[in-house]
Amino acid sequence: MAGIYIHIPFCKKACYYCDFHFSTNWKVKTELLAAIEQELELQRNYLNGESVETVYFGGGTPSILTGEEINAILDKINTLHHVAASAEITLEANPDDLDAAKIKELRQTAVNRFSIGIQSFFDEDLQWMNRAHNASEAKSSIMRAQDAGFENITCDLIYGYPLLTNKKWKENIQTLIDLQIPHISSYSMTVEPQTALASFIRKNKQQPMNEEQSAEQFQYLIEELSKANFLHYEISNFGKEGWLSKHNSNYWFGKKYLGIGPSAHSFNGETRQWNIANNYKYIDSLSQKKIPFEEELLSPVQRLNEYVMTALRTMWGIDLKKIENNYGKEFLEEIMHTAEKYIDKQWVTNNEDKLILSKEGKLYADLIASELFIT
């Protein structure tokens, strides 16, 4: 079973913190959608005939597409691949796009899961981020989607930025719990170098992020969502039983995925490849039936380190037997030697041959993973 990711690189506004590939110029939208279909054709054998279990429209802002445009892409995928009847088909959507007409249109597609970029339920915070939606749209978009029968909804929230008091953070979380959202992804605000936010901080127009505040808000998030019966199944992801994201889980379990569109990444079990992050060059190259990508053959050590990094972030942890069987005893011993320090600190537990982060260890996931890397 494999997944397909479609990158739609257009947004209405540039959020100040964002370093994804997108453009606010939509002039070439039609050409880009044609190029996406062309790339799907050219990559028809990439998944080696494996059945497709998940399709994920990400971006950018895929909810700017019409139902007809989404259907055209899904039809193309269906002609080229066997898509499982129970496939999870996710559309990332921004609240300002989810008006009644759009939701009605989306009911006519096979999309069965929304990932809504809420980020906050406070106007001042949304303006500070330069989001295209406001607080009232954040709430009404969710309710409209639910009223139309979409149950499988995940919402994004951001924490750890100067404007977000603990009081507001509690309200943001509580609002999603009250709305009975079954899945939440939540990220600490990170300052990526090429963003407007980084530039504001460099020019002293903006305070830097505060790590202590971020850690406190993360802990609060974990506690509240655990009380509300969410499984904390990956550092940034929480879902109720039966509502975990299949698409993301497949990434973490190392399954194959095909990424289509500018900047999209693909993985076939051995190599990783990524498309050019430029809409015009992408369209131009596909018009000549060439996929503009770079590729990296992953060495066993790289694959092991990727496994360590992704598995440690999940509730299933690092499977020590798997490391021994797939990579050998020597690497296993090296990892265990480093892990002892964190087991002693009680940041990591070793249960039934699985290394799993403790509550405190979750605050240091990246540090611990990088220390466990084989060099």
Site for ligand SF4 in 30-69 (CB under 6 A): 59-61
For ligand SF4, which stretch binds (CB under 6 A), given 16-24, 163-171, 323-331, 350-358? 16-24
| Residue 344, token pair as written in the block | 């002693």
| Cα-Cα-Cα-Cα dihedral sign, residues 141, 143, 146, 151 | positive
String of contacts with ligand SF4 for each residue 110-149, x by CB under 6 A: -------x--------------------------------
Contact between 239 and 229 (Cβ < 8 Å)? no
Q: Give the range of 12-20, 108-116, 163-171, 302-310 binding ligand SF4 by CB under 6 A.
A: 12-20
Burial class (CB in 10 A: 0-12, 13-18, 19+), 282: buried
Taking CB under 6 A as the criterion, the residue among 18, 258, 348, 363 binding ligand SF4 is: 18
For 1, 51, 225, 238, the CA distances from 143, given in Å and listed in that order, are 33, 33, 20, 20
Kindly tell me which residue out of 5, 22, 218, 327 binds ligand SF4, with binding defined by CB under 6 A. Answer: 22
Instruction: Give the shortest CB-14-to-ligand SF4 separation in angstroms.
Output: 5
Residue from the set 4, 6, 8, 11 that interacts with ligand SF4 by CB under 6 A: 11
Taking the least distance from each CB to ligand SF4, the nearer of 15 and 258 is 15
Residue 58 or residue 361: which is nearer to ligand SF4 going by CB?
Answer: 58
Can you tell me which of 1, 20, 110, 358 binds ligand SF4, judged by CB under 6 A?
20
Contact predicate 49/86, CB 8 Å: no
- Cβ-Cβ contacts under 8 Å for 350 (sequence gap 6 or more): 320, 339, 343
Q: What share of the chain is helix, strand, coil (3-state, %, to 5)?
A: 45, 20, 35
Least separation in angstroms between residue 67's CB and ligand SF4 is 20
Instruction: Tell me which residues in 70-109 interact with ligand SF4 (CB under 6 A).
Output: 94
**Site membership for ligand SF4, residue 15 (CB under 6 A):** yes
Q: Is 14 in the site for ligand SF4 (CB under 6 A)?
A: yes
CB of 85 to ligand SF4, least distance (A): 31
Q: Is 196 in the site for ligand SF4 (CB under 6 A)?
A: no
Eight-state DSSP code of residue 22: -
The stretch near ligand SF4 (CB under 6 A) out of 7-15, 67-75, 241-249, 290-298 is 7-15
* Shortest distance, position 50 Cβ to ligand SF4, whole Å: 29
C-beta neighbour count of 23 within 10 angstroms: 18
Distance CA 355, CA 342 (A): 10
- Contact yes or no for 133/81 (Cβ under 8 A): no
**Residues contacting ligand SF4: total by CB under 6 A:** 11
- The pair phi, psi for residue 113, each rounded to 5°, is -150, 135
8: contact with ligand SF4 by CB under 6 A: no
Distance CA 254, CA 242 (A): 21
Residue 44's Cα: distance from chain center in Å?
A: 24
Q: Of the two residues 58 and 239, which places its CB atom closer to ligand SF4 in the complex?
A: 58
Residue ranges in contact with ligand SF4 by CB under 6 A: 11, 14-15, 18, 20, 22, 59-61, 94, 117
